[in-house]
Amino acid sequence: MSRNTHASTPKAASFRMPAEWEPHERCWMQWPYRTDFVWPDLARTQAAYAGVAKAIRRFEPVTMVVSEQALQHTKSLCGSEIDYFVAPLDDSWARDSGPTFVKCGDELAASVFQFNAWGGKYRRCRNDAALGHRIAEALGIRTFSANVFLEGGAIAVDGEGTIMTSEQCILNANRNPGLTKLEAEQILCDALGGEKVLWVPGDPEDCETDGHIDALVCFVKPGVVLCAVGSDALPERRKYLEENWKALASATDAKGRRLELVAIEEAFDAESTTEIYCRSYVNFYIANGGIVFPSFGTAQDEPAQDIVRKLFPDRVLVPVAVADIAPGGGGVHCITQQQPA
């Protein structure tokens, strides 16, 4: 395949971000260790992260990024089947601060967004901002830098040219003041090898990520989108989430297909000890042959599992407890990042 090896963007060099259901080489995660964060119980959160890593390891290799001082403790919880990459860390959200991988044929590269800790919400972010480049260097792969502040949880792709994102996040003044939709679309298509951007409004109640797409909607196959919906018991929240549904209801993807939307109700009655709490069943990890799926211990768990099993009949669904991860504002998808095969 001929391409411009000096091109400045992934798209110009014929790279694209594969869909998450395409084969993986491995999964990357970052170990939680901060005691000045929102975790109500850090030990329980660490155990939950270890549970997610072990569940994914059933299907594909997992590399845990961990600071030197936390390495031995992390190994004691995660075990010898997990691989470890020692690097300084600020936080534990691999989807957001890790590299977004793109491919051109068999060549892998990293498309790295600028990172400012979710719009400057946390002062410590220098190490995480450098992590995408550190991992790419360790893998010996090419790196592309996107000139926009954004996190990996703010984008979703179908692998066929379509990108989804939220207005609330990438257009937020705390990340990219003055950025227009047209400019954002160009940057996203260049960074991810896309052809068309679909927009949803976001989530006005999300004060942590400012409407990350991976708690709201996700592609489950080309032309099919799983959408979080609210409960009748919470009419105001239901109205917010309906706006995202409406934004996609008449949309077509990069191939001209009208989208098929599938509803999945949030775990609205999950108990939390913080105002920051991710209740989304959209926030799962697609592994090689498996789905690692959030379990809140609520009445919504089983119906949600049934919906996703039907969408992925050829994959084994593995529920993992996330009640000790959700208070950080994210879930299974937020703490993982796939590396394409």
Q: List, in sequence order, every residue forming a beta bridge with 63; answer none if it has no partner.
A: 28, 83
**Active-site residue among 189, 218, 278, 334?**
334
Using left for φ > 0, alpha for ψ between -120 and 50, and beta otherwise, residue 236 falls in alpha
The residue to which tokens 């257009």 are assigned = 171
Taking the CB of residue 36, how many other CB atoms lie within 10 A of it?
7
220 CB-near residues (< 8 Å, 6+ apart): 21, 226, 262, 308, 311, 312
Q: What is the DSSP string of 295-315?
A: E-SSTTHHHHHHHHHHH-TTS
Tell me how far apart the alpha carbons of residues 335 and 333 are, in angstroms, rounded to a whole number.
Answer: 6
Catalytic residue list contains 227: no
Residue type, position 66, single letter:
V
Tell me how far apart the alpha carbons of residues 140 and 130 are, in angstroms, rounded to a whole number.
Answer: 15
**Beta strand ranges found along 87-128 (DSSP E):** 100-104, 107-114
For the annotated catalytic residues, the residue numbers are 334
